């Protein structure tokens, strides 16, 4: 690489970083502005908006609701995804590629299409719009990610590990729980956090499948319609910090996973 291209590359890189972070920085900054209106100049600073959020029972309830959906979705997705990976991974059967493609489809179908389809389907089988419908919708979307990550990890496990467990007296179920599952741990942590973030962040499916109770993104959307307020900035900043921490932790476990063992 010549010196010239190196300079161009680094300029492009930093331009991208600025483009990525300036809006976030603005959003965070406005959450500390002591005024109802968003925009410069900022004359006074305050933590009041955070206090407002902490006392806003609706926001807190919605936060809990979104968390409950994210956790349930994650648990369900991990169980189904792991089961699918252990089933699809080692077994060879006719049409395996087709089964696998079908299983992965929900991950790539546009959210809006899948949301409408799920809405119609939920009504058809008499599932009320609400928590259960959202959890099912999110799970369908998340399972392929879990399955892919777990399959990747599973393919690195030496066959002899399971054979050794069987040899030492474990039936196939005990061998799975005592040897395979611990081996999958980094993959499950990574995939689990990814599921939580996907679910917590989702607007489209939650909007179409939800009942009267909004999830956090749906609530923020509703609040925006009645006008921008620094309270929204405060909520967003809290969410940003939490998801960033979770995301980085997930990224770390995934990296450990790729290094093996």
- The C-alpha angle 195, 229, 234, rounded to 5 degrees, equals 45
Q: How far is the CB of 77 from other proteins (least distance, A)?
A: 23
Does 152 help bind other proteins (rule: CB under 8 A)?
Answer: no
Does 165 help bind other proteins (rule: CB under 8 A)?
Answer: yes
Binds other proteins by CB under 8 A, chosen from 168, 222, 244, 245: 168
Q: How far is the CB of 254 from other proteins (least distance, A)?
A: 18
CB 192 within 8 A of CB 186: no
Q: How far is CA 200 from CA 124, 150, 240, in A?
A: 26, 21, 11
Q: How far is the CB of 249 from other proteins (least distance, A)?
A: 20
Report the distance separating Cα 129 and Cα 232, nearest Å: 26
Q: How far is the CB of 145 from other proteins (least distance, A)?
A: 24
Using the contact rule CB under 8 A, the part of the chain among 20-28, 85-93, 153-161, 224-232 near other proteins is 153-161
Binds other proteins by CB under 8 A, chosen from 20, 102, 109, 174: 174
Q: Please identify, using beta-carbon distances, which residue of 5 and 261 lies nearer to other proteins.
A: 261
- The C-alpha angle 81, 85, 88, rounded to 5 degrees, equals 130
Does 185 help bind other proteins (rule: CB under 8 A)?
Answer: yes
Does 176 help bind other proteins (rule: CB under 8 A)?
Answer: no
Does 250 help bind other proteins (rule: CB under 8 A)?
Answer: no
Which residue bears the tokens 């006074």? Answer: 44
Q: How far is CA 177 from CA 67, 157, 167, 174, 253, in A?
A: 28, 14, 15, 5, 20
DSSP string, 105-160: HHHHS-HHHHHHHHHHHHHHTTPPTTHHHHHHHHHHHHHHHHHHHHHHHHTTS-HH
Q: Please identify, using beta-carbon distances, which residue of 182 and 211 lies nearer to other proteins.
A: 182
Does 177 help bind other proteins (rule: CB under 8 A)?
Answer: no
Task: Tell me the torsion sign for CA atoms 184, 187, 192, 198.
Answer: negative
Q: How far is the CB of 86 from other proteins (least distance, A)?
A: 17
Q: Please identify, using beta-carbon distances, which residue of 33 and 153 lies nearer to other proteins.
A: 153
Which among 205, 186, 249 is positioned nearest to 69, based on CA atoms? 205
Q: Please identify, using beta-carbon distances, which residue of 77 and 253 lies nearer to other proteins.
A: 253
Q: Tell me how long the chain is.
A: 261
What are the residues whose beta carbons fall under 8 Å from the beta carbon of 78, sequence distance 6 or more?
146, 188, 191, 192, 195
Binds other proteins by CB under 8 A, chosen from 179, 195, 206, 254: 179
Q: Please identify, using beta-carbon distances, which residue of 161 and 252 lies nearer to other proteins.
A: 161
Size of the site for other proteins (CB under 8 A): 19
- List of residues contacting other proteins (CB under 8 A): 158, 160-161, 163-171, 174, 178-179, 182-183, 185, 261
């Amino acid at each position: 690489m010549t010196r010239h291209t190196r300079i161009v590359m680094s300029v492009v890189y930093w331009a991208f970083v600025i483009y990525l972070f300036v809006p976030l920085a603005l959003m965070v900054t406005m959450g500390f502005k002591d005024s109802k209106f968003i925009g410069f100049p900022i004359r006074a600073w305050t933590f009041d908006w955070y206090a407002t959020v902490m006392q806003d029972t609706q926001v807190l309830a919605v936060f809990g609701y979104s968390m409950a959906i994210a956790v349930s979705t994650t648990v369900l997705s991990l169980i189904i995804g792991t089961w699918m990976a252990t089933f699809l991974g080692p077994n060879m059967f006719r049409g395996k590629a087709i089964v696998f493609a079908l299983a992965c489809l929900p991950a790539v179908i546009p959210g809006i299409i899948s949301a409408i389809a799920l809405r119609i389907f939920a009504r058809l089988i008499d599932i009320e719009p609400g928590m259960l419908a959202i959890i099912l919708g999110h799970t369908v979307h998340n399972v392929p990610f879990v399955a892919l990550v777990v399959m990747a990890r599973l393919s690195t496990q030496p066959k002899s590990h399971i054979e050794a467990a069987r040899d030492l007296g474990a039936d196939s179920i005990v061998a799975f729980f005592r040897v395979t599952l611990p081996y999958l741990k980094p993959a499950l942590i990574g995939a689990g956090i990814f599921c939580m973030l996907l679910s917590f962040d989702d607007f489209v499916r939650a909007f179409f499948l939800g009942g009267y109770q909004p999830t956090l993104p749906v609530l923020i959307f509703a609040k925006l319609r009645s006008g921008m307020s620094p309270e929204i900035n405060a909520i967003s900043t809290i969410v940003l910090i939490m998801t960033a921490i979770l995301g980085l932790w997930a990224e770390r476990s995934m990296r450990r996973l790729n290094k093996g063992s």
